[in-house]
Copies of this chain bind each other. A is one copy, B any other.
Amino acid sequence: MENIRIKRRLEQFRKLMEENNIDFYYITTADYHNSEYADDFFKEREFMSGFTGSNGNLLIEKDRAGLWTDGRYFIQAENELEGTGITLFKMAEPSVPTTREYLKENMKEGQTLALDGRTVTLNFGKELDKLIEEKKGSLVYEIDLVDTIWEERPGRKSETVFALPEEICGKTVEEKLEEVRKKMEEKEASNLVLSKLDDIMWLFNIRGGDVECNPVALSYAVITKDNSYLFLQKQAVTEEIRQWLEKQSVELKEYDEINNFLKESNFSGKVLADGANLSFTLYKLLQQRNEIILSDNPTEGLKAAKNPVELEQMRQVYLKDSLVVCRFMKWLKENIGKEPVTELSAAEYMDNLRRQTEGFLDLSFPTICGYKENAAMMHYKATEESHKELSAEGMLLIDCGGQYLGGTTDVTRTYALGEVTKEMKEHFTAVVMGMLRLLNGKFLYGCSGRNLDILARGPLWEMGIDYKCGTGHGIGYVLNVHEGPQNIRWKYLEGMKEVPLEEGMVLSNEPGVYIAGSHGIRIENIMVTKKDILNTDGQFMSFECLTFAPIDLELISTSMMEKRDIKNLNEYHKQVYEKISPMMTDEERQWLKEVCREI
């Protein structure tokens, strides 16, 4: 079936390209801050391609167009791109070129590539610069051609900025600035330009609401040896926050003034810039006047290792959030087949439970609720137009989380709604075995996620099954549900960071099985890296679990499990009962006891 809406937009756009002598136009998913999720204002790639996933880049040519996305979205992208004429490029699959390789292969001498330099990173822009030089072509980066044809483009968000209560921050702005400046000194930099929104929020102990589900404000920051400048949208700043920032000796500036500030202000000395996050446009501005030291943002590692106050808040928040998941499971199990439930209404039920929870601010991402084969799409989103009705058979996958004053949560469970196949049980059991083996893993300090990934993935690999994504990601504190630098992945990818897991780093642990057209399973717990025993062999590390929600025993095939897998599961369920039952009614408690029974 032809997708006329997208085809027409492409046609219109290609006319513009021709008028501007552009041969290739590159559209990313990013906002001006390389945020993982961008607000609607920034969704040019979605507007032009129809693909709604959270990662993907579109390259438009005169006669062709290609969309690159990662393993989470292969199935979804195939569906959404149908009839658009856009080719899907599966990232990281063998023999699939990267965008840069594609351009290298297909760009002819003297051709022109255009893109909005605010939406690509310094590192990527520099690579393109090099490529263009080889091709003797032109790179146009101060352009936004999509804006011209996007008539109903949404406005840029500017929600009110607020300060986090000091008692839940663990560190003051002053203390954080001191730590950051120390790291700057180590790298011999006098200045730091920050454009990564969650890093800026963390540093100034503030939050905003300009990106769906991410409590961040559109902002920039410049830290010099003596001053700190924070750039916020005027409409986002109340008198209260203005005064509060003044007390922290932070100089407030207007968001759109960043370019002029970098051009004109008189800060001198070397500038630290994070090549993976700073935009190409800002880089070009800095390049004109300062020596640039390319390095990770010092804020990144500091933010990732949560302090004791943050961790204590998170423990409490995860208990409340786990109670939500328990209640959802009870409702689902008791009502399925009795009242009409759809993927949408199930998600809505979960979201409402969360909304009623004390301290709730927002969802941490749009709830994913996939029934049967829909769950095989890792980041499936049910819509009013397209969703399934649930019945008393097969499995339901629900991946959800909340933003609370005190922490960001993320949890996935997969439930049997009735009869399931033997294969589904085997897949489910292997996923649970892997999740619990990683959760109970013990390792020497110095290990990164690359060393540990096989603990979770091993039981599936033994069955000849893989999941096309990482096992875990870092998680923010009242911030983005995905944050770095830590992660749990096995594959070496160019440009990826590999850092040791440090005390206090919070990670998801979410192996899964995705059988296209049949079923999807994912179980996700969140865990904190902690110090274990220290002896002459070194500092051992292990994980503390934050998530306490039952794992559906109806899907467990005990015969597949090793002794320790059974022990892991029983011990986990014992903890679930001990931690969650005190918050429950008698009736709920009885139910919980049953679903957490020993096997």
Query: A447 to B562, Cβ gap below 8 A?
Result: no
Q: With an 8 A cutoff between CB atoms, is A462 at the interface?
A: yes
14 contacts between A and B (CB under 8 A): A441-B454, A442-B461, A442-B462, A442-B464, A443-B454, A447-B454, A451-B451, A451-B453, A454-B455, A464-B537, A464-B540, A466-B537, A562-B563, A562-B564
Q: With an 8 A cutoff between CB atoms, is A444 at the interface?
A: yes
Residues of B within 8 A of A451 (CB): 450-451, 453-454, 490
Encoded as 1 (CB less than 8 Å from any B CB) or 0, chain A from 537 to 553 comes to 11010000000000000
Q: Measured between C-beta atoms, what is the minimum distance from A514 to chain B in Å?
A: 10
**Cα of A464 to Cα of B535 in the assembled complex, Å:** 8
**Cα of A444 to Cα of B443 in the assembled complex, Å:** 22
- Which A residues, 452 to 491, have Cβ-Cβ distances below 8 Å to chain B? 452-455, 458, 461-462, 464-466, 468, 490-491
Q: With an 8 A cutoff between CB atoms, is A533 at the interface?
A: yes
Residues of B within 8 A of A154 (CB): none
Q: Measured between C-beta atoms, what is the minimum distance from A297 to chain B in Å?
A: 21
Residues of B within 8 A of A461 (CB): 442-444, 540
Q: A444-B490, A454-B455, A562-B564 are in contact. List 18 more A-B contacts (CB 8 A).
A: A441-B458, A442-B461, A442-B464, A444-B461, A446-B490, A446-B491, A447-B454, A451-B451, A451-B453, A451-B454, A451-B490, A452-B454, A454-B454, A464-B533, A466-B538, A468-B537, A492-B498, A563-B563
Copies of this subunit: 2
A residues sitting closer than 8 Å to B (CB atoms) are: 441-444, 446-448, 450-455, 458, 461-462, 464-466, 468, 490-492, 498, 532-533, 535, 537-538, 540, 562-564
**Cα of A490 to Cα of B446 in the assembled complex, Å:** 9
Which of A458, A461, A533 has its CB near the most chain B CB atoms (within 10 A)? A461
Q: Measured between C-beta atoms, what is the minimum distance from A509 to chain B in Å?
A: 15
Residues of B within 8 A of A532 (CB): 464
**Cα of A313 to Cα of B461 in the assembled complex, Å:** 30
A466 CB contact (under 8 Å) in B444, B490, B563? B444
| Closest residue on chain B to residue A467 by CB atoms | B537
Query: A450 to B450, Cβ gap below 8 A?
Result: yes
**Cα of A455 to Cα of B490 in the assembled complex, Å:** 14
Query: A492 to B454, Cβ gap below 8 A?
Result: no
Residues of B within 8 A of A464 (CB): 442, 532-533, 535, 537, 540
**Cα of A461 to Cα of B448 in the assembled complex, Å:** 15
